């Protein structure tokens, strides 16, 4: 009689590295009366996650976004991005980190109207390219990412000739051209009809599937449902953290 070999169970995979680590991060504004826009908050977002931050107007979503995107400084607490304490950076360092490592997609697109599609995207490369040779490579990089979002046929169009969905795809391409560690989307479908919004959300889903870490700020439950993790915020406090349908 032979006995089958017993193999030890494989060890579970190690968790992905954190992109964002907030410890007691808070933001208040002086009064009278003073306003606690974000109460002390702990939050970790790991590489490859897709997180939706939900809440009504005035809940603290924009305050949190501005802190995550280094557009504002906290009143207290710490923020580590890829392990580095951003509180130790001066404004030049924060600007460089924001331009190179964080991509933004806004509700209002924020495209330069007199620049072509490819020029709008190439402008974001100014943060990382300075030499004459690198300047020549900006258009190539912009064209590559525009092809990725399905706009190879609109390279030389100006924003006024684009549909809303096309303009938002240009904005996504601009956010991706520097291969950021984090994509921040602020109400990315707020100015779009339902059909066009679905196309943009499909694109964000595809980017996440390719490994991009995504945070979407939204008041729309349908947009939030696309994310694998959801955080609810109300009156400046994180109220609920849901992952894969389970509260945690």
The predicted structure's pLDDT at residue 196: 85
Bridge partners (DSSP) listed for residue 237: 234
Domains assigned to the chain: 18-247 (3.40.50.300)
The predicted structure's pLDDT at residue 239: 85
pLDDT (tens, 9 = 90+) of the chain, 248 residues, equals 555 555 555 555 667 899 999 999 999 998 788 899 999 999 999 999 999 999 988 899 999 999 999 999 999 999 999 999 999 999 999 998 998 899 999 888 889 999 999 999 998 887 665 555 666 688 889 999 999 999 999 999 999 999 999 999 999 999 999 889 999 999 888 888 888 888 889 989 998 998 999 999 998 899 999 999 999 999 999 987 877 654 44
Using CA atoms in the order 212, 215, 218, 223, what is the torsion angle rounded to 10 degrees?
30
The predicted structure's pLDDT at residue 184: 95
The predicted structure's pLDDT at residue 87: 92
Task: Give the ranges where the chain is alpha helix by DSSP (H).
Answer: 61-68, 91-101, 117-123, 132-148, 164-176, 194-209, 221-224
Could you give the C-alpha distances from 70 to 67, 89, 227, 231, in angstroms and in order? 5, 10, 23, 20
The predicted structure's pLDDT at residue 109: 84
SS3 of 82, please?
Answer: coil
d(CA 223, CA 219): 8
Q: Is the pTM value of this prediction over 0.75?
A: yes
The predicted structure's pLDDT at residue 248: 45
The predicted structure's pLDDT at residue 34: 86
Neighbours of 107 (CB within 10 A): 17
SS3 of 76, please?
Answer: strand
The predicted structure's pLDDT at residue 17: 92
The predicted structure's pLDDT at residue 110: 87
The predicted structure's pLDDT at residue 133: 61
């Amino acid at each position: 009689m032979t006995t089958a070999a017993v193999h030890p169970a494989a060890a579970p995979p190690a968790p992905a590295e954190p992109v964002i680590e907030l410890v007691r991060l808070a933001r208040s504004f002086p009064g009278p009366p003073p306003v606690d826009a974000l109460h002390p908050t702990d939050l970790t977002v790991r590489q490859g996650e897709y997180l939706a931050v939900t809440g009504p107007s005035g809940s603290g979503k924009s305050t949190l976004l501005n802190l995550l995107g280094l557009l504002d400084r906290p009143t207290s607490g710490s923020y580590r991005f890829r392990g580095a304490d951003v509180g130790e950076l001066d404004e030049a360092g924060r600007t460089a980190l924001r331009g190179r490592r964080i991509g933004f997609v806004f509700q209002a697109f924020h495209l330069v109207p007199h620049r072509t599609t490819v020029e709008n995207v190439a402008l974001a490369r100014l943060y990382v390219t300075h030499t004459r040779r690198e300047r020549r490579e900006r258009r190539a990089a912009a064209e590559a990412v525009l092809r990725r979002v399905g706009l190879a046929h609109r390279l030389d169009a100006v924003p006024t000739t684009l549909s809303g969905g096309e303009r938002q795809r240009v904005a996504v391409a601009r956010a991706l051209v520097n291969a950021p560690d984090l994509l921040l989307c602020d109400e990315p479908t707020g100015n779009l009809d339902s059909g066009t919004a679905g196309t943009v959300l499909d694109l964000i889903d595809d980017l996440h599937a390719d490994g991009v870490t995504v945070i979407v700020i939204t008041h729309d439950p349908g947009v939030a449902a696309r994310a694998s993790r959801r955080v609810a915020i109300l009156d400046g406090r994180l109220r609920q953290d849901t992952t894969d349908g389970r509260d945690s």
